[in-house]
Amino acid sequence: MFKLNQLIGNKPHDSFLLPKGILIQGDIESKIPGRIDGNVAGNINVESKLVIGEEAVINGDITAVHLIVYGRVEGNIECKTKAVICNNAVIKGGIIATTLEIEEGAVIEGSMTKNRYKPLEEKPRISGMEKTPQPKKNTASNNAIPAIEVRKSISSEPPSTDGWF
């Protein structure tokens, strides 16, 4: 497995670039953000932001925290936060992301799924902070449905379009 962060460093401001004309055959794993403009035949796992350039071709699965795709991906994509599929991108595979933005003109041949994280089954409790349940008073107001008043104002003048353009 090709580990980019061993070659470049682990400083937070570091990033990697795979330039156009380079072909990587094998998996890529990185803890630093990066951009791929070349070709990759293998899976990519980036624990940060990843940009797939306009001329890049990826044949493998991609896992990233934040992803922007301009190029071609033939494989599944899993994004932990936001995936942006730009207007010239071509994706042949499924996409799993918490937030997915698809620009007009992008081509996706596969399924799209919202990544849902499991909520906590029960809220954590702090000892000594528990509330003691208060007995309910048995009155008619406990079963009453709150009234909602809706008022509609009708103006005789047409709405203004000033500020629309």
159 within some domain: no
Counting residues of the chain whose pLDDT is more than 90, the rounded percentage is: 59
39 within some domain: yes
Other Cβ atoms less than 10 A from the Cβ of 131: the count is 5
Domain total for the chain? 1
The string of pLDDT tens digits covering residues 75-89 is: 999 999 999 999 999
The string of pLDDT tens digits covering residues 2-12 is: 444 444 445 55
37 within some domain: yes
Task: Name 149's Cβ contacts closer than 8 Å, sequence gap at least 6.
Answer: none
106 within some domain: yes
User: Which pLDDT band, with edges at 50, 70 and 90, does 127 fall under?
Assistant: low
Say if residues 70 and 86 touch (Cβ distance below 8 Å). Answer: yes
Render the burial of 150-163: b for 16+ CB within 10 Å, e for the rest: eeeeeeeeeeeeee
107 within some domain: yes
The string of pLDDT tens digits covering residues 103-123 is: 999 999 999 988 765 444 444
Domain that holds residue 9: 2-114
Q: What is the overall mean pLDDT for the chain? A: 78
77 within some domain: yes
